[in-house]
Structure 1
Amino acid sequence: MEFDQSGVNALMEITTRPKLVFVRGQGSWLEDHNGKRYLDFIQGWAVNSLGHCPPELVGAMGKQAAQLINPSPAFYNQPSMDLAKRLTGASCFDRVFFANSGAEANEGAIKLARKWGRLNRNGAYKIITFDHSFHGRTLATMSASGKPGWDTIYAPQVDGFPKANLNDLDSVRALIDDKTVAVMLEPVQGEAGVIPASPEFMQALRKLTNELGLLLILDEVQTGMGRTGKLFAYEHSDIVPDIMTLAKGIGGGVPLAALCAREEITCFEPGDQGGTYNGNPLMTAAGIAVFDAITGRGFLDAVNARAAQLSAGLLALSAKWGMKGERGVGLLRALKLDRADGTQIVDTARDWSPEGMLLNSPRPDLLRFMPALNVTEEEIDLMLARLDEVITKVRG
C-alpha cells in the first residue's frame, strides 16, 4: 500500500508523525500499511488497557451498536447506569458523570470544585496544582497544568491555579489563602517523567486539606483502572479523595472518561454540566467490558507480576549501560537515561527491521513504558532484549 501524501496534507499538522499508517492491531502488536509489525509499549499513551482490539471490547461494542448507540444524555440508558454502579461500588465515590476525554473530566472537576467553593467557602475558587503536572489541553486544564511553556501558548491563562512542588507539603501550605478551594494532583506525574507522589505526601496532603476544609482532587486519567497494580492509584496511599477523574484506560481505546465525586461534594444542578455524547451506551458498554476484565480474578495479580518483571529488567539495563535507574508504579514505568538520546532510541526502535517497537520519550533523558495491562511475560522479555539491541546501535 502506498503512503497517502494527499491524506496527510488534508490533516492539520498538530504533531510530527512518521510516514507510516497503522492498519490493524491485536494485543501488544500493531501492523502498518506495508505489513511491518511493531511491539507496542505505548498503547495510545496508556489508553489500550487490554491491548489492541481485545475480543471482549469488540464484542461488547458490536452487540451494543446493534441495539442503541446514543439516545441523548437527556435520558437514562442502561450501560451508563451499570458502569456507574460498578465504579461507585469499587471506590469511595457515590456519583459519576461520564465524559469523553481526560481533559473534559478534569474540566468538570474544576467546575464542580468551584461551584462547591461558591456554596461552601464564600466563593473560593483557587485550585492548587503542581509544577510539571499535566491535566489536559482545554484552556482551563492547560492553565491547571504545570507543563513548562504552557503559560504562554494561549495566554492569558485561566486564573486561579497556583503551582506547588510535588512531595513538598510546605510548598502547598504556602499557597493556601481564603480563596483556595482545592488541591489537585496526579498520583503519578506521567508527562513529567513518571514521578510518583509518595504515600506519605498523599496522606499528609489529605490531612492538611481535611483540617482546612479543602477538597482533594485526584487526576487518575493515566493511573486509574489498574495501571498502577491497584484499581485506583489512591488505594496505595490509603486515603479517601473528594473527587477523582478517569479516562484513558477506562475505555480501552475508545473515548470515555469519568468524573467521580463523593455525595457531599456533588452540587451540580440541571444545566450546570452536560455534553452531547456524554455517557452514551456505546462507550459505556465498552467501559463495562474493560472494568469487568480488569476486576476479574487474578488480573491485577498478573499486572503486578509483569510490573515487577519490567522493573527488574529496566534496572538490569540501567546497570549494564551506566544509566540512572528506573521508577514508576505498576505498569507505568520510566528508564532514566544518562544522556539525552531518548528521541534517537525511540526512532531507532520504531525503524528496527524486520519488526519495529514503539516507545515513548516524554523527556530527552527518559523513556516511558505503558504496555497493555495484559502484556505477556514473553513480550516484556522481547521488549527488553530489543531495547538492549537498540541502545547498542544508538550508542555504538
Structure 2
Amino acid sequence: MPAAFAAEEVGRFAPLYPLPRLELASGRGTRVRDAAGREYLDFVSGIAVNALGHAPPGLARAVAAQMRVLTHCSNLFANRPAIGLANALLEATGYDRVFFCNSGAEGIEAALKFARVRARARGLAGRDVLAFRDGFHGRTAFALSVTWNPSYREPFEPLMPGIRFADYNRLEALDAALDGSVAAVVVEPVQGESGAIPATREFLDALRARTTALGAALVFDEVQCGMGRSGRLLAAEHYGVRADFTVLSKALGGGLPLAAVLMTEGASAGLAPGQHGCTFGGGPAAAAAGAFVLARVRRPGFLARVRRRARELEAGLAGLVERHGSLAAARGLGLLRAVEVAADAPYDAPALVAAARESGLLLVRGGERAVRLLPPLTVGADEIVEALEKLEAAIARLELTGGTRS
C-alpha cells in the first residue's frame, strides 16, 4: 500500500516544511495509520511529545472533564489545575517556583529573560549568554539566538546581542568562554536535534562549578530529554547536577501546548508583576493534561520500565553498528537514541528515514548524519525488537542497492 501524502498542503501552507508531508489519520499506543490506512510503528512520537503513546487511556477523559467546566481563564485569574500541576512538579523535582507557558522555545525565552533579571538583581555586571555548538533551543528570537545551526539563524539576523558559543563537552573551551560578562549558561543535558549527544558528567559538573563561582545562572534545556525520556524524571538526575532554571515542555502537555520553567528561589530574584507573562500559559485544559502525564510518569515502576526498554534499544542499536559498516555509531540516553550514518556510506540520513518509512517505521533526523529513535515511553519489548528489525531491513536494502543521497 503506498504512503498517503497530503498534496493539498502544497500552495496552501507556508513553505516552511518539506511539502507534501505524510498525512497521519489515527494512532493508538506506538502505532499510527496514514490517510490511506497504512500502519507504521511510530518512533518519532511527535518529536518526543507523545510520551504515553497515541490516545493513552484516560487522557482525553481528563481533559474533556476539565473543558466541560473551565477551558481558559487567562493569566488574570488562578485556576485549580495549574495550582495542582505546579505543586506536583515542584514536589517531584525539588524546585521552588514555576512559570507556565506554551512551548519549549517560549520556556527558553522566559528562562533567559529571567536570568538577566536575576543578574541585575544580584548586581552582576554581565548580561551575556553562553550556549553551545550544535545546541538547539527553539525558533523565537532569544531561543534562536542561542541555537547553533547557522542556517536557522542567518535568515533572521541580526538577532539578540550578547550571545557566545563554546564547544559542547570540552572543558578547555570553558576557560575562554566563561567570564564576568556572562549572566547565564544554557545547555541541553542531552543534545536532541543534533543527534542524541549526552553531556559528560565532568562537563556539567564544570558548568555548575564555574557558573556558581561567577554568580551566573545555569539553565538546563530539558524540553526533549526531560519528563522521563532519559529514564529519570529529569535527565540532570543522571549527573547529580542541579541548574538554577530547568525548562520542560514537549511530553509535559501530553500533546497539548504546555511548558514549565522550573526555578530555585534564588533564581527568581528580581522578578516582579508585569515583567513577563503568557495569556495561555498554565490554562486549565493544558494543566489537566500535564497533571495526567506527570502522574503516569511518576507511577511506581514506570521509569524503571523505561530504563529496561532503553537498555534493550541501546543493545540492539549497538548490534546494528557492529553488523553494518554504513553506520558509524549509536548513542543517546534512555529512550532518546540515534544512529549515525558513516561519512562514506552509500546513503545519507534522509535516505535512511525514507527507507525506514517504507519498511513501516517512522524515524526523525538528528543533525547532519544522524537519525533519531524516540519511541513512546510506554513502548513494549516486542515493539523494540520489531523496530530494530525494520531498521535493519532498511539499512540492508540501502547497502544492497547502493542507496541514495539527497
TM range (shorter): over 0.9
Q: Specify the SS of the correspondent of 2:177.
A: coil
Match of 2:383 among 365, 371, 379: 379
1:140 and 1:19, CA in 2 relative to 1: closer, same or farther beyond 3 A?
closer
Q: What is the rounded CA distance, in whole Å, between the counterparts of 1:350 and 1:176 in structure 2?
A: 44
Residues 71-101 of structure 1: CA deviation (Å, up to 9, x unaligned) = 1111110110111111111113100111100
* 2:134 and 2:147 in contact (8 A); partners too: yes
Q: What is the rounded CA distance, in whole Å, between the counterparts of 2:73 and 2:25 in structure 1?
A: 31
* 2:6 and 2:20 in contact (8 A); partners too: no
Residues 277-321 of structure 1: CA deviation (Å, up to 9, x unaligned) = 111010010000000000001100110000000000001111111
**Superposition pairs for residues 261-340 of structure 1, below 5 Å?**
261-266=263-268, 267-322=270-325, 323-338=327-342, 339=345, 340=347
**Superposition pairs for residues 229-244 of structure 1, below 5 Å?**
229-244=231-246
Cα offset, 1:351, TM superposition? 2.6
* 1:229 and 1:330 in contact (8 A); partners too: yes
Q: What is the rounded CA distance, in whole Å, between the counterparts of 2:157 and 2:22 in structure 1?
A: 34
Q: What is the rounded CA distance, in whole Å, between the counterparts of 2:21 and 2:124 in structure 1?
A: 54
Q: Which amino acid aligns with 1:41?
A: F
Per the alignment, residue 159 of structure 2 pairs with 157
* 1:135 and 1:142 in contact (8 A); partners too: yes
Q: What is the rounded CA distance, in whole Å, between the counterparts of 2:369 and 2:121 in structure 1?
A: 46
Two-structure CA RMSD over aligned residues (Å): 1.6
TM-score by length of 1: 0.96
Q: Which amino acid aligns with 1:29?
A: R
Structure 1: gaps (5+ residues):
none
Q: What is the rounded CA distance, in whole Å, between the counterparts of 2:68 and 2:74 in structure 1?
A: 17
TM-score by length of 2: 0.93
Residues 79-130 of structure 1: CA deviation (Å, up to 9, x unaligned) = 1011111111111310011110000000000110011111213452111110
Cα offset, 1:364, TM superposition? 4.5
Per the alignment, residue 404 of structure 2 pairs with none
Per the alignment, residue 358 of structure 1 pairs with 362
Match of 2:114 among 112, 115, 130: 112
Q: Specify the SS of the correspondent of 2:351.
A: helix
Q: Which amino acid aligns with 1:336?
A: E
Q: What is the rounded CA distance, in whole Å, between the counterparts of 1:19 and 1:120 in structure 2?
A: 49
Q: Specify the SS of the correspondent of 2:130.
A: strand
Q: What is the rounded CA distance, in whole Å, between the counterparts of 1:176 and 1:150 in structure 2?
A: 25
Q: What is the rounded CA distance, in whole Å, between the counterparts of 1:384 and 1:148 in structure 2?
A: 33
Per the alignment, residue 16 of structure 1 pairs with 18
1:42 and 1:2, CA in 2 relative to 1: closer, same or farther beyond 3 A?
closer
Per the alignment, residue 256 of structure 2 pairs with 254
* 2:4 and 2:23 in contact (8 A); partners too: no
Q: Which amino acid aligns with 2:353?
A: V
Q: What is the rounded CA distance, in whole Å, between the counterparts of 1:4 and 1:333 in structure 2?
A: 29
1:7 and 1:206, CA in 2 relative to 1: closer, same or farther beyond 3 A?
closer
Q: Specify the SS of the correspondent of 2:202.
A: helix
- Number of residue pairs aligned between Structure 1 and Structure 2: 393
Per the alignment, residue 356 of structure 2 pairs with 349
Residues 20-71 of structure 1: CA deviation (Å, up to 9, x unaligned) = 3211111111111111111100111111111111112212111111111001
Q: What is the rounded CA distance, in whole Å, between the counterparts of 1:84 and 1:144 in structure 2?
A: 27
Per the alignment, residue 399 of structure 2 pairs with 395
**Superposition pairs for residues 160-239 of structure 1, below 5 Å?**
160-239=162-241
1:372 and 1:2, CA in 2 relative to 1: closer, same or farther beyond 3 A?
closer
**Superposition pairs for residues 82-97 of structure 1, below 5 Å?**
82-97=84-99
Q: Specify the SS of the correspondent of 1:112.
A: helix
* 1:343 and 1:364 in contact (8 A); partners too: no
Match of 1:27 among 26, 29, 38: 29
Q: Which amino acid aligns with 1:113?
A: A
Q: Which amino acid aligns with 2:45?
A: Q
Q: What is the rounded CA distance, in whole Å, between the counterparts of 2:55 and 2:45 in structure 1?
A: 11
Cα offset, 1:219, TM superposition? 0.5
Cα offset, 1:13, TM superposition? 1.7
1:3 and 1:214, CA in 2 relative to 1: closer, same or farther beyond 3 A?
closer
Cα offset, 1:17, TM superposition? 3.7
* 1:47 and 1:249 in contact (8 A); partners too: yes
Percent of aligned pairs with the same amino acid: 39
Residues 234-267 of structure 1: CA deviation (Å, up to 9, x unaligned) = 1111122111100011112111101111011113
